[in-house]
Structure 1
Amino acid sequence: MRALGFAIVPVLALAACGPAPDESSGGDWPDRSPRFEIVEELRADLSRRRAAADGGGSASVEELGGPAVAGRPGTWRIVYRAGPLGVAVGGAVYLQVSPFWGWSTPQTEREAAFGYTTITTDAGGVDLSAETLDQQLLAVHVRGRALEAGERIEITYGAGPAGALADRYAERDSRFWVAVDGDGDGVRELISESPAVDVLPGPAARLLLHLPSTARPGESVDLVAALVDAAGNGWPEFRGTLELRLPAGIAVADGRDRPGGDGATRKVVSLALTEEDRGRLVVPLRLSAELGGAVRVVGRADGGSPGAGFEAESTPLLVSPAGRRILWADLQNHSGLSDGSATPDDLLRYAREIAALDAAAVTDHDHWGMRFMDREPAIWRRTLDAVDRLHDPGRFVALAGYEWTNWIEGHRHVVFFELTTEAAAGLLLSSIDESYDEAHELWAGLDGVRALTFAHHSAGDPIPTDWSQEPPPGLEPVTEIVSVHGSSESADSPGVVVRGAVEGNYVRDALDRGYRLGFVGSSDGHDGHPGLGHLASPSGGVAAILADDATREGIYEALRARRTYATNGPRIVVRASYAGWPIGADIPAAAAAAGEVGPIAGVPEGTLVVRAVAPGEIDRIDVISRQSATGAGAIAGEALCPERERECSLTVTLPAFRSGGYLYLRVVQADGGAAWTSPFFFE
């Protein structure tokens, strides 16, 4: 097992040949500052000689102050036992606590500070010296004589009065990574199995209520009520009651509701939250056949003590007999198998049970983190097995994938929609493999496979996308326009714009080059909280997918057709059409010029129709367009929503579009939450 990630990962984790670009539409692409040095170091690490004693021995951990709790201090004793070849004089044992999400850096200098660590040994004549080398990395050097087989080194992490802070994100199997340089040549290797602890959630701090975004009159829907702690961790300990106030036309399926304070307009239901519920309930609701429009449910969880009451309003539900179903998905998530949090199973359970998503993908890095998936097939197999266990067609779509973490051409994640276990090993195409280190090679390797690639944080840090190669529409029909990194849409984007954005490398610049890309959001989450990355970050990302059913085939078909929109976290409902054509459509310019309309009947040519229903107050709807194949897209119109209401409708007649034009919408909440529709493209 390689251990290169010790030095490089903490700095950067937070975190080709293709069709020639159309020189008439913008000239050369800007300099993106590719990170050649990272690729060189990763490849050099693979070629370094490992001595037989490197990575030898075993380790265990003891929790001295009780179980680890997210973001709270504790004390842990890690005991290393030397392997058969021992550790030579000049060699070292390394402790790397997770370098990503808030563990204190182990240090031996300041007893009163977080992370103070003591080192002892039972080996007489062995002298130990320790030093902090990097973020969360401690080296224990062997002096005096060699550490022999079976001899021990005890590392007490959090030994001072302040203790050491645990990861702020709850997870099972949080590793204390132990590596060994057995011969003293400066090259280290992880031991075969580093010890781990479970990090528990903190106390409940917030109530979340999720309804589906669309339903038909007379249908039944589930309300998912979930308490989370201050960092968004799910399943905190909680015991109390959940009171729901239901609008007219909605009833609890088992009839436990009763008239409320608003008489006929609202009903109240009170439900018990037991310790076994771990702060989560699914409440089945019936919609009346007469119900229509946008509805919301208000709730309060009460733990029976001061500070233990939490109120919330649900995400909006639009009840209508027409329109495609909106599925919510998070298609990019990293687990503890690379540089994220949680096991793949727990990550998918959070998506389904806490965030109430319809679909989620596990996309750990190919060659990044503490262990490298492209070098250890067992890691990839764990992802595949978790996806198989959690996939439930019609209710929850679990997807397998990985991130092609290319530091020269930009990061893309690959998501599979039909993948047999037998084929999986041959489809993990590594970004540091010289056969697949260019985007056109990745796409060629996936040719004929039911998979899609997604460029992300394409405008800026940690590495912008090389847009000089036009993505093949069959493999990359949409792009991740927003995530926890921020928006890559444009410099005038609402909300947080990705850091280090390169002028001329935004997604809108790619559209101006003639690329036809739909929009999705996804969290690029590393916190184990798919669909809810915005709870702990200034920005998040989710994908709204307009599909007929919650199946892999249905989602794949919708993505290929660009029937999608993105949000930076809030579940904003957007219905939009242009001359009867749905978002993402290729509209024949000749048809538009002739006044022909699309598949949605009754909409005049040139008419844009929009309806938005949001969790928060809507500030405006922006219309972004380019009328023809020349020039640049820009804000063509801005519709302010009266009195900042949470519903806003827009009907406007636009000038005729010519071939090469495009049009998309931004729905912007007053608090910075936003949605971006996939563009309408004019052929």
Structure 2
Amino acid sequence: MSTPNHSPQLHMLRPNLDDLPELAPPEGYWIRTYRSGDAANWALVLSESFEQEFSVDYFERQMKHDNAFRPERMFFAECAGGVAATASAWYQPRWGKETGYVHFVGTRPSHAGRRLGYWVSLATLHQFVREGRTCAQLQTDDFRLAAIKTYLRLGFRPRLVHENQRERWRAIFGKLGDLDSLERFAAILSGPVGGPLPEFPDEYDLSKLSIRRLWHPARTPKRGPGGGTIDALGDESLYKPSRLGTAGISLAEVKAAADEPFTLWFCGGPQALEAGTTVRFCVRGQRPFGDPPQLQSPGKPAFVELEGPAGVALEPLVLGFQVKDGALREGDVVQLHVGRQGGFRWTELAGRREFKVILDLYPDEPQVRLPEPVVTRILPLEPERLDVLLPGTPRADAALTAHVSARDRFDNRVPLTGAAAVDFDGQNHAVELIDGFGRVSLPAPRAVARARAAHPDVPGEFLSNPCVPSTNPIRSPQSAVHNLYVGDLHCHDFLSEAEGYPDQVYTWARDDKRLDFVSVSVQSHGHHENDKWTLVKHLNERFLDEGRFVTFLGFEWQHSHYGDKVVHYLGGDQPYLPVDDGRYSTPAKLYEALRGSDALVISHHPGYPLDLHVPGTDWSAVETDIDRLAELWSMHGSSEGYDPADRPLRSVDPQNSVLNVLKSGVRVGLVAGSDTHSARPGGSAREPLKYWGGLAAVWAESLTRRSLFEALWARRTYALTGARIVLEFSVNGSPMGAEIPPASEAEIVVEAHAPRDLAKVEILRNGEVLHTTSPGKPECRVELLDRPDASATTFYHCRITQDDGHLAVCSPVWVGQRVCVGDHHRPGPGGGGGASVSLRKPSRFLSSTSNWSGGPSNSSRETLPSPSRSRRRTKPPRPGGPSGGPNAAPLFAGCVATLCGYFERSLFGASDLSLAVPPRTQRT
């Protein structure tokens, strides 16, 4: 007796999501979404429903670690006796953003006959509507007749993906006795086979992006230093590198940005390289030495030609080759000619470039490499300018140091020697340049001052950034107790998909750019193991030199929907929290974990659309007691949202712009960073994307980790595109980043000092221009009185434009109380900051605390009352705060009472929803 062919699975489609019935589960049951502990409930329901074992481990692997997992997408029918049914509103990116996928529907047999499968499936369709999807798809089996009957009742219809499904569907309708459906779908069953849903480009296919965020504590061998891993962390084996051969390059040195073809060569050694062996010239980073080599177009730049010995068949790789037939023996030479036909343009960035020569000798064995790298040196061009850098706010009673360096047009340091002349505060000084560097001690300035420098070998005279001494009479008393520090909180090295050893990144920041602080944050690309994180922590501590140069330990948490976030720790020995670990796989989980530390988050390139390989920020998931700052500029461009022509991103979602989010009520401070992938904090002339990036300016008491961290958390920050503009901003005496009580008058003070003339100073109220002035000189002070609506929240901030287009934009000051939902409150530094605002979409409220259709709320949660039942609630600060312990001097002192109110359910457009209050969510 033959077995019926029930492969492939049946597909069903609901072509639209119009006119969905309201949720009305049977009496005694309610529908809710996922909450902690539901993995076991899910496994129980499906094990009984499918009559096969589903485990908690299966849930963790197949559901919770799926890119589509969100608590609000998993539904459970529940009664007083426990969970009875489940269904999930899943998303398969390859089917397009319009299509929702009804996933894993099951009902426990003891609850059969109550149509619970119908109600949980209907809940998924409502979720699709909330997410903006327009149709729904599911897969099922021929023998699941009760389920198919339910899906037909929900408006699904057959979708043929294989020829054999015509007769299978006819047989199913016969078994159901459903002649009406057989007649209704006759045209479909006799029509063409549609095949599976079309697959969309990888840009939206999150399932193909998992390599971007993998963590393997118990990893399989990664085989060595090729293929994107780090040679120092490759799997080790004993072999004789001396027998493998030698390699080299035709150019020992070359000028930056030169168009100069070159040849890489490999000469065989005593150990013959048999068929199957591959040899690669590996280099870290993204286009680290110039045009990307290619094998497709001979007439175009960087085309690679392979030349080898007679009798050996070789297959070219991009920068390497594989032995296909024969063997390479001692003395045999293979050459890779790069750009011989179409030319090759070298990178603009000077420095040492090295190729590791990696050999794959045997399958499934660790890779091996030659003992020495192949090295070429890229030389800087002629000096074009002098960089003169001064401390922004020097002490009034002590000498200061001016640092002078010679730079070419690509910002490479030129090894210039000889004396440069420095004029400062009416006095002339000489500084001797050695290898392009020089420094000179200058007397304390009497007022705002700039230095001018000249060198006989560099035409012109060059102006420094301004320095504003603490005795400046027009500085506000509050700002006078703080000093200005400038740094880069978003840098990468070769431990990420970038170039440069860690020490090169730190020394460029400290010595070349004279930054005060830096965070070299490892990315989530590729694999992370404890040995890599240990190296990150070690180098971070090695370069910490408080009072001179401060380092912050950090990593980039990268998610292809929620966005990329750079996590910064106060402490230098904190753990890495991988995004594919279920404990940290969503922003809410990440924030909850970070509340056990002194940590803050900066959202990176937030202005991109969501669900890209490099996405923007899902602001509906942001909780700003941890996610304190937003990055306005980086090498990606501008996410500010003020001027569409200013450094536009490759793709933009205006709704995700920082300015739009500020207008919506989210309270975040503003910074910028480089996101350098070229080992040059502050940005460079050659990044994977076309912009230089920016810098973060911070007003802090001292150049220490504690003081800077406190200032970052308090949002006493502003974003710079590069020019070191000194900007002070206050409202009613409170500095940028502050939240102050309601007031009928707002006294706004702006003071700016720039390296060049100021073209425009704009004061914005609630994101709209309130006042503009065009100073036409390097200094400006504006005092303005505004009368805000004391019954509403108003925020003010300032935007400075230099005459060359460089910008400074400060964190807002918020005037007025906040109405918040939720019980998490962490007071700001000095008791004046308060927990900040998080604005969530309606769908985000359907989280683990959501109850549908009249079910009893969890006893530990609170159901949204009407406004007449709103009440005040406060929560004291966590003991110790970021000071490191209850006995240390507290950085986050005091407890600020928070006014809490609640919103009508109709605000979310869900009259059949009973929403419990989600924790840690504040809203203006």
TM-score of the two chains, using structure 2 as the length reference: 0.58
Structure 1: gaps of 5 or more residues: 1-15, 19-26, 132-136, 248-265, 594-604, 627-633
Show the 5 A alignment for 1:349-388. Answer: 349-368=507-526, 372=527, 374-375=528-529, 377-388=530-541
Of 722, 730, 739, which residue of structure 2 is paired with 1:577? 730
Asked if structure 2 preserves the Cα contact closer than 8 Å seen for 1:59 and 1:178, the reply is no
Residue 280, structure 1, aligned to residue 433, structure 2: no
CA separation of 1:572 and 1:416: change in aligned 2, threshold 3 A = same
CA distance in 1, matches of 2:787, 2:559: 42
Residue 646, structure 1, aligned to residue 800, structure 2: no
CA distance in 2, matches of 1:680, 1:28: 34
Of 497, 504, 516, which residue of structure 1 is paired with 2:655? 504
Residue 62, structure 1, aligned to residue 248, structure 2: yes
Secondary structure in 2 matching 1:405 = strand
CA separation of 1:30 and 1:511: change in aligned 2, threshold 3 A = farther
Secondary structure in 2 matching 1:361 = strand
Residue 237 of structure 1 is matched in structure 2 by 415
Show the 5 A alignment for 1:561-572. Answer: 561-572=714-725
Residue 169, structure 1, aligned to residue 349, structure 2: yes
Of 283, 290, 294, which residue of structure 2 is paired with 1:103? 290
Asked if structure 2 preserves the Cα contact closer than 8 Å seen for 1:495 and 1:674, the reply is no
Residue 457 of structure 1 is matched in structure 2 by 605
Could you give the per-residue CA deviations for residues 435-479 of structure 1, whole angstroms, max 9, x where no partner exists?
Answer: 433222322333322222211110017421111112241x22111
CA separation of 1:82 and 1:535: change in aligned 2, threshold 3 A = closer
CA distance in 2, matches of 1:399, 1:29: 38
Asked if structure 2 preserves the Cα contact closer than 8 Å seen for 1:406 and 1:432, the reply is no
Secondary structure in 2 matching 1:197 = strand
Residue 295 of structure 1 is matched in structure 2 by 449
Q: Which amino acid aligns with 2:608?
A: G
Farther off after superposition, 69-78 or 217-226: 69-78
CA separation of 1:103 and 1:229: change in aligned 2, threshold 3 A = same
Residue 405 of structure 2 is matched in structure 1 by 226
CA separation of 1:61 and 1:230: change in aligned 2, threshold 3 A = farther
Q: Which amino acid aligns with 2:720?
A: T
Residue 389 of structure 2 is matched in structure 1 by 210
Could you give the per-residue CA deviations for residues 384-432 of structure 1, whole angstroms, max 9, x where no partner exists?
Answer: 3322222111111022322223222211112222122xx5xxx222234
Residue 529 of structure 1 is matched in structure 2 by 680
Residue 494 of structure 2 is matched in structure 1 by 336
Asked if structure 1 preserves the Cα contact closer than 8 Å seen for 2:253 and 2:379, the reply is no
Asked if structure 2 preserves the Cα contact closer than 8 Å seen for 1:404 and 1:414, the reply is yes
CA distance in 2, matches of 1:311, 1:565: 29
CA separation of 1:460 and 1:54: change in aligned 2, threshold 3 A = closer
Asked if structure 1 preserves the Cα contact closer than 8 Å seen for 2:319 and 2:336, the reply is no
Secondary structure in 2 matching 1:215 = coil
CA separation of 1:534 and 1:480: change in aligned 2, threshold 3 A = farther
CA distance in 1, matches of 2:534, 2:246: 25
Q: Which amino acid aligns with 2:697?
A: A
Residue 71, structure 1, aligned to residue 251, structure 2: no
Residue 661 of structure 1 is matched in structure 2 by 794
CA distance in 2, matches of 1:172, 1:387: 23
CA separation of 1:112 and 1:61: change in aligned 2, threshold 3 A = farther
Residue 482, structure 1, aligned to residue 633, structure 2: yes
CA distance in 1, matches of 2:584, 2:274: 38
Asked if structure 2 preserves the Cα contact closer than 8 Å seen for 1:351 and 1:360, the reply is yes
Of 586, 594, 602, which residue of structure 2 is paired with 1:438? 586
Residue 874 of structure 2 is matched in structure 1 by none
Asked if structure 2 preserves the Cα contact closer than 8 Å seen for 1:117 and 1:155, the reply is no
Asked if structure 1 preserves the Cα contact closer than 8 Å seen for 2:252 and 2:377, the reply is no
Secondary structure in 1 matching 2:487 = strand
Q: Which amino acid aligns with 2:703?
A: A
Show the 5 A alignment for 1:242-281. Answer: 242-247=420-425, 266-273=426-433, 277-281=434-438
Asked if structure 1 preserves the Cα contact closer than 8 Å seen for 2:569 and 2:598, the reply is yes
Asked if structure 1 preserves the Cα contact closer than 8 Å seen for 2:214 and 2:580, the reply is no
CA separation of 1:69 and 1:416: change in aligned 2, threshold 3 A = farther
CA distance in 2, matches of 1:153, 1:407: 45
Larger RCO (CA within 8 A; separation ≥ 6):
1
Q: Which amino acid aligns with 1:100?
A: R
Could you give the per-residue CA deviations for residues 23-51 of structure 1, whole angstroms, max 9, x where no partner exists?
Answer: xxxx98999x7551542455899899989
Task: Quote the offset at 1:524 in angstroms.
Answer: 1.2
CA distance in 2, matches of 1:223, 1:85: 58
Asked if structure 1 preserves the Cα contact closer than 8 Å seen for 2:214 and 2:524, the reply is no
Secondary structure in 1 matching 2:660 = helix
The RMSD of aligned alpha carbons is 3.8
CA separation of 1:190 and 1:112: change in aligned 2, threshold 3 A = farther
TM-score of the two chains, using structure 1 as the length reference: 0.76
Asked if structure 1 preserves the Cα contact closer than 8 Å seen for 2:245 and 2:267, the reply is yes
Asked if structure 2 preserves the Cα contact closer than 8 Å seen for 1:166 and 1:199, the reply is no
Q: Which amino acid aligns with 1:237?
A: P
Task: Quote the offset at 1:60 in angstroms.
Answer: 5.3
Residue 401 of structure 1 is matched in structure 2 by 554
Residue 607 of structure 1 is matched in structure 2 by 747
Residue 621 of structure 2 is matched in structure 1 by 469
Secondary structure in 2 matching 1:442 = helix
Task: Quote the offset at 1:74 in angstroms.
Answer: 6.3
Task: Quote the offset at 1:560 in angstroms.
Answer: 0.9
Matched residues, number: 588
Farther off after superposition, 153-162 or 487-496: 153-162
- % of aligned pairs identical? 24
CA distance in 1, matches of 2:262, 2:806: 40
CA distance in 1, matches of 2:707, 2:267: 51
Asked if structure 2 preserves the Cα contact closer than 8 Å seen for 1:66 and 1:74, the reply is no
CA separation of 1:415 and 1:198: change in aligned 2, threshold 3 A = farther
Could you give the per-residue CA deviations for residues 581-615 of structure 1, whole angstroms, max 9, x where no partner exists?
Answer: 111111122xx24xxxxxxxxxxx42101111112
Secondary structure in 2 matching 1:329 = strand
Task: Say which one has the larger Rg.
Answer: 2
Residue 36, structure 1, aligned to residue 206, structure 2: yes
Farther off after superposition, 212-221 or 492-501: 492-501
Could you give the per-residue CA deviations for residues 327-377 of structure 1, whole angstroms, max 9, x where no partner exists?
Answer: 001000112332333221111111111111110111131225xxx4x14x4
Structure 2: gaps of 5 or more residues: 1-69, 73-128, 134-202, 227-236, 818-924
Higher helix share: 2
Secondary structure in 2 matching 1:512 = helix
Higher strand share: 1
CA separation of 1:284 and 1:44: change in aligned 2, threshold 3 A = closer
Of 751, 762, 765, which residue of structure 2 is paired with 1:622? 762
CA distance in 1, matches of 2:269, 2:602: 45
Task: Quote the offset at 1:127 in angstroms.
Answer: 0.8
Q: Which amino acid aligns with 1:351?
A: A
CA separation of 1:476 and 1:99: change in aligned 2, threshold 3 A = closer
Residue 64 of structure 2 is matched in structure 1 by none
Show the 5 A alignment for 1:58-207. Answer: 61-67=247-253, 69-72=255-258, 73=260, 75-79=262-266, 88-89=275-276, 92-97=278-283, 98-106=285-293, 115=302, 117-120=304-307, 125-130=311-316, 137-138=318-319, 140-145=321-326, 154-158=334-338, 160=340, 164-172=344-352, 174-176=354-356, 178=358, 180=360, 191=368, 195-197=373-375, 199-203=377-381, 204-207=383-386
Q: Which amino acid aligns with 1:169?
A: L
Task: Quote the offset at 1:495 in angstroms.
Answer: 3.3
Task: Quote the offset at 1:166 in angstroms.
Answer: 3.8
Task: Quote the offset at 1:649 in angstroms.
Answer: 1.4
CA distance in 1, matches of 2:770, 2:583: 47
Asked if structure 1 preserves the Cα contact closer than 8 Å seen for 2:358 and 2:369, the reply is no
Task: Quote the offset at 1:546 in angstroms.
Answer: 0.4
Task: Quote the offset at 1:270 in angstroms.
Answer: 2.8
Task: Quote the offset at 1:662 in angstroms.
Answer: 1.5
